[in-house]
Structure 1
């Protein structure tokens, strides 16, 4: 059983539909505007970055997109890519942030080398703590269903928006911040 720290309630879903940055349909244009490191949340985004020859420093995938299994092409691009120095399997139920996901994400972002976090469950909400953890100027890239890839540039304003959303979720926000090493 997963150790759940926060859980998304239905009334917050609409807030998450507003992108944290510009939406791109062209990977090369996104990469031209991205800062380092690049953190990818989602299979399709990770696939596009690998395919463009610019794999992310940290990638989090769950073999699903928009509640369905990813295509074999996307799955094969990710599983066939041998550029991740660390591959770690973690559990995170849908609509939640587990202690395991938060700890693994922190270790991946603070560590050296490249990391693939393979989630049993769902990785969608990981964008929020990724923005809190990433250094200023970093890029957190995630998919916007039916639109493209969102480039969230990490700065004080984006962090504050993510922190506000996280604080409205059900659970223990203080524990989340402790697990992330944030005061």
Structure 2
């Protein structure tokens, strides 16, 4: 089991309700606005990007959507990656294993599918810091669509501030991403 570096306290949950970028319902439109590399967080998001012909540089999946098991079509449709990793990451946390796997996946180049035993929802936050300036992070906004975040100064500053206010060691988390 990997060490939990950060845990999302209930007091910060409200700050994650609003999307960090524009919402798309069409993967091809989203991809036309996205810049490389693209990191995807979530089974449904990853599936739609793959169906639109793009294999994300790094994708995090946990075989769930809205706390329910994803359809077999989605589970089986997530393939075509150069590498696969399986990690543990409990709900509402960021573990050292998730952060290190994210960093390695981006640094290695090619494509990496990260299968998460637990929950991958918060992986979008460190991804915004780990990708190169201007790259894209895509995550799902329940019942609305896919959020496209450009990793720029504003998005990165918001995420740094949020990570520092989470329970745990924000500095250690940031160090693992550099």
Which residue number corresponds to residue 34 of structure 2? 34
Give the deviation of 1:38 after TM superposition: 0.7
Which residue number corresponds to residue 12 of structure 2? 12
Q: How far apart in 2 are the matches of 1:36 and 1:71? A: 28
Which residue number corresponds to residue 113 of structure 1? 110
TM-score with structure 2 length normalisation? Answer: 0.98
Q: Provide, for residues 7-40 of structure 1, a one-character-per-residue CA deviation record: whole Å limited to 9, x for no partner.
A: 0011111100111100000111101111111110
Among 67, 85, 102, the residue aligned to 2:82: 85
Give the deviation of 1:136 after TM superposition: 1.2
- 5+ unaligned residues in a row in structure 1: which ranges? none
- 5+ unaligned residues in a row in structure 2: which ranges? none
Among 83, 96, 99, the residue aligned to 2:96: 99
1:141 aligns with 2:143: no
1:2–1:93 contact (8 Å) kept in structure 2:
no
Give the deviation of 1:2 after TM superposition: 3.2
Q: CA RMSD in A?
A: 0.8
SS state at 2:104 partner: helix
Q: How far apart in 2 are the matches of 1:17 and 1:110? A: 30
Q: Provide, for residues 40-97 of structure 1, a one-character-per-residue CA deviation record: whole Å limited to 9, x for no partner.
A: 011000000111111211111000111111111110101xx2x211100001000000
Among 146, 151, 155, the residue aligned to 1:154: 151
Q: How far apart in 2 are the matches of 1:29 and 1:113? A: 23
Which structure 1 residue ranges, 4+ long, deviate > 4 Å from structure 2?
none
Which residue number corresponds to residue 52 of structure 1? 52
Q: How far apart in 2 are the matches of 1:115 and 1:91? A: 16
Which residue number corresponds to residue 165 of structure 1? 162
Among 120, 125, 135, the residue aligned to 1:123: 120
Which residue number corresponds to residue 69 of structure 2? 69
1:21 aligns with 2:18: no
Q: How far apart in 2 are the matches of 1:2 and 1:57? A: 23
Q: How far apart in 1 are the matches of 2:132 and 2:163? A: 18
Which residue number corresponds to residue 3 of structure 1? 3
Give the deviation of 1:179 after TM superposition: 1.4
